[in-house]
Amino acid sequence: MNGNDPAVAVRALEKKFGNFTAVNKIDFQVDPGEIFGFLGPNGAGKSTTIRMLCGILMPTSGAGTVAGFDILRQQEKIKENIGYMSQKFSLYEDLTVEENIDFYSGIYKLPPEKKKERKEWIIKMAGIEELRGNFTKTLSGGWKQRLALGCAIVHEPKIIFLDEPTSGVDPMARRDFWALIRQMARSGVTVFVTTHYMDEAENCDRAALIYKGAIISMGTPGQMKAQCLREEILEISVDNPQDWLEPVSGISQVREAALFGATLHAASADPGQAAAMISALFNRSGVKDFRINKIQPSLEDAFVSLIESYDKKGAVCELKKA
């Protein structure tokens, strides 16, 4: 792979399982040193795509390259030149921290002098100096996550694939893990990350949203929020918001509503009129304690809108370059 070549490039990539199309002829490319988010709900096709790119799963049709190697004919070369971390940590629980690193160093055939250097780097990077002799099964989810990342990049690959890497870990560990990802990208490593946590996409240089096997939008997080969401967003604070989801959704000035934590978010082209109608709904029902505020849309708001539009009309959001 030359310096100007894309780190990842796919054309009409497709994967079928019998009559089911898991990935439907998608196209995209990832630049060297980029943090590229591959986003979507569970079952959208994220893991299937990443397994094809990593040489684990053979595509049904299409073409592509990873690190300059063909995904159809050079799977073993791809595996040698990438790092891969799945959502299920591929660590050996009955080995110590150091023994796990030694094991993966052996898999990637690092010379003895390099093994020691990389082991010390990984232990320092993961912040587990005091835990190096501990059995892996005794580590918390956050420490296991950092160790798994270290083992995945022990051979210093230029491309790292992270498949739902923060699934099942606490918010603090997720934040720390993304700090490590940004640090790697600054050093020139290309990071391809799948996640269904939409807030994490804010850390990406660019992202693609895959849904039902199709890419329905792709661009920077800022572009998606600015160009794919044409309505304003109202945040509605009320007791038992789940009970109000259907009534609020039925208001003529509300295009769609969704639960967001302990609140409702309602999308409307006329937020003033929508807020008045929602207030009237609550007042008629005897609800006194509620708040309705217009807020800046989040990436999750944009994605909810995109998915809704795709389900209703099959519409995708083609982003204009700045």
Domains 8-225 and 230-296 share a fold: no
Domain ranges of the chain: 8-225, 230-296
pTM, 2 dp: 0.86
- 245-256 pLDDT tens trace: 999 999 999 988
User: What are the backbone angles phi and psi of residue 148, rounded to the nearest 5°?
Assistant: -60, -40
What is the Cα–Cα distance from 321 to 218, expressed in whole angstroms? 11
The residues that bridge with 159 in the sheet, in sequence order, are 82, 190
pLDDT of 197 reads 82
Region 147-156: mean pLDDT is 92
| Average per-residue pLDDT for the chain | 91
Region 34-54: mean pLDDT is 94
Helices 171-186 and 141-152: crossing angle, nearest 10°?
Answer: 20
pLDDT band at 7 (very low <50, low <70, confident <90, very high): very high
The region of weakest confidence among 206-220, 248-262, 295-309 is: 295-309
Does residue 320 have a pLDDT over 90?
no
Q: What percent of the chain has pLDDT over 70?
A: 98
Burial 211-230 (b: 16+ CB within 10 A, else e): bbbbbbbbbbbebbbeebbe
More confident residue, 189 or 305: 189
What is the Cα–Cα distance from 153 to 143, expressed in whole angstroms? 16
pLDDT of 3 reads 61
Q: Is 318 helix (H, G, I), strand (E, B) or coil?
A: coil
Q: Can you name the CATH fold of 8-225?
A: Rossmann fold (3.40.50)
Q: What is the DSSP letter of 96?
A: B
Q: Can you name the CATH fold of 230-296?
A: Alpha-Beta Plaits (3.30.70)
The region of weakest confidence among 39-43, 168-172, 287-291 is: 168-172
pLDDT of 272 reads 96
